[in-house]
Amino acid sequence: WDGAAQGMKCEDGEIPAELQGPAEEARQFMVETAAEASEELMEKYLGGEELAEAEIINALRTRTLATEIVPMYCGSAFKNKGVQAMLDGVIQLLPSPVDVPDVKG
């Protein structure tokens, strides 16, 4: 996160050693949750194959649209920390108006 760029510029870096275990567990949980979207993905996952990023995103979107999961993000509008990642998640995972039926009533 670059404070001078007000959160518009972020760089990926190494996960600190003390957080690598929890980060790997969280990622594994996310991948397993994505794999549950279809038998094909579950077979691939259980077979030890790595799911591609696009497969994970598409599967999480499918499960979100089916209201099986609820993605959670956090950020701080005060300093724009995490806001861009949250907005990217909204675009990738949440339904657009064409994905849901009209509201009646």
pTM attached to this predicted model: 0.82
Q: Which residue has the higher pLDDT, 76 or 91?
A: 91
Distance between CA 42 and CA 50 in Å, rounded?
Answer: 11
| Model pLDDT for residues 46-84, shown as the tens digit of each residue | 999 999 999 999 999 999 999 999 999 888 888 778 888
Contact indicator for 36, 45 with CB cutoff of 8 Å:
no
Which amino acid is residue 31, in one-letter code?
V
Which amino acid is residue 41, in one-letter code?
L
Contact indicator for 55, 71 with CB cutoff of 8 Å:
no
Mean pLDDT of 1-12: 69
| Model pLDDT for residues 23-52, shown as the tens digit of each residue | 999 999 999 999 999 999 999 999 999 999
